[in-house]
Amino acid sequence: MTKALRAITVAAAGIGLASAATAQDQIVLRSADTHADGYPTVEAVEYMGELLDGWTNGRITVEVFPGRQLGEERDTIEQTMIGALDMNRVNLAPLNNIVPETAIPSLPYIFRSIDHMHRAMDGEIGQQIFAAMEEQGLVGLAYYDSGARSFYNTVRPITSPADMEGLRIRVQNSDLFVSMVEALGANATPMEFGQVYDALRTGVIDGAENNWPSYESTRHFEVANYYTLDQHSLSPEVLVMSKVTWDALSAADQELIRKAAALSVPYMRELWNERVEASRAAVAANGNEVISEVDKQPFIDAMGPVYEQFVTTPELQDLVDRIQSMP
């Protein structure tokens, strides 16, 4: 649907609220994802759409545009903020420069485990970060899993920060990730996700960092042989809605959307766990060198400057303290 048509759809929903025609007005929520069809984040948002479709007899539907059809995350975030796109599933990292609170769950080694991350994001911490996003025109709907991000490269097995010296590592469009890679002695190159495969293949960069499913689904594993499970960031995925779209919805529809988004979370987590296993198997079958026994302590020790640079206010420090002190 074109931008103009979508605007009419949203506007019609708004007008419909005051008239008897509400039930007939179609709401088609367009949602972007950088990942290809079949990736757990794409499937989760499609599932959310099926729920809404069923509950409203087709009045509210979600149209997911996977595989960067609507652009890279940098572009789709902008589109969502101004209301040109209704929904967007992105990683928290490209929001770090826009909403400082989102940097906290992206911080290196802030969570002790995936379970710890779930407890923080599913509770008050996650809600507080959603509230901060709203000031930038984004309404948070769900946090999805993204496992642990780890380094991979084409040059050598990394077993300690010393091995990272001088490597050119692609990072997401986030100053925090730049700082993290530099704290480890490597050179950080922010780059959009869709450009990483060619950059690895042609030697423009030496490596990147991501979770198992992304390392595999992008085929980065075919060009970057060494994968070190240092697990430096558990930065989760997030599903956001444009505040422009959100404000045009009735309170009842907002509630339905929140409910469907919440139900898509456990659905996504199950798919995620399956996908991690499948990705591990694909990488193993390819004969990659996976360095799984990593002493994380030297990586953790190197991260002091990153915390100093990004935990700059009492509010941000409070978020860090509350996360770290969670049982």
Binding mask 27-46 for ligand BDP (x = CB under 6 A): -------x------------
The whole-angstrom separation of Cα 20 and Cα 24 is 9
The whole-angstrom separation of Cα 267 and Cα 274 is 11
Q: Closest distance between ligand BDP and the C-beta of residue 240, in Å?
A: 12
Question: How many of the chain's residues bind ligand BDP (CB under 6 A)?
Answer: 11
Q: Using the rule CB under 6 A, is 146 a contact of ligand BDP?
A: yes
Q: Closest distance between ligand BDP and the C-beta of residue 20, in Å?
A: 42
Q: Using the rule CB under 6 A, is 210 a contact of ligand BDP?
A: yes
Residue 9 or 210: the one with the smaller Cβ distance to ligand BDP is 210
Q: Closest distance between ligand BDP and the C-beta of residue 161, in Å?
A: 21
90, 103, 139, 142: which one contacts ligand BDP (CB under 6 A)?
90
Residue 44 or 249: the one with the smaller Cβ distance to ligand BDP is 44
Q: Closest distance between ligand BDP and the C-beta of residue 194, in Å?
A: 9
Residue 44 or 132: the one with the smaller Cβ distance to ligand BDP is 44
Residue 13 or 193: the one with the smaller Cβ distance to ligand BDP is 193
Name the one range near ligand BDP by CB under 6 A: 7-15, 62-70, 114-122, 209-217. 209-217
Position 76, amino acid: T
Q: Using the rule CB under 6 A, is 172 a contact of ligand BDP?
A: yes
Name the one range near ligand BDP by CB under 6 A: 59-67, 99-107, 210-218, 242-250. 210-218
Position 169, amino acid: I
Q: Using the rule CB under 6 A, is 91 a contact of ligand BDP?
A: yes
Using CB positions, name the residue nearest to ligand BDP.
Answer: 193
Q: Do 167 and 187 touch, CB atoms closer than 8 A?
A: yes
Under rule CB under 6 A, which residues in 221-240 are in contact with ligand BDP?
A: 237
Residues lying near ligand BDP in the complex (CB under 6 A) are found at 34, 73, 90-91, 146, 172, 193, 210-211, 214, 237
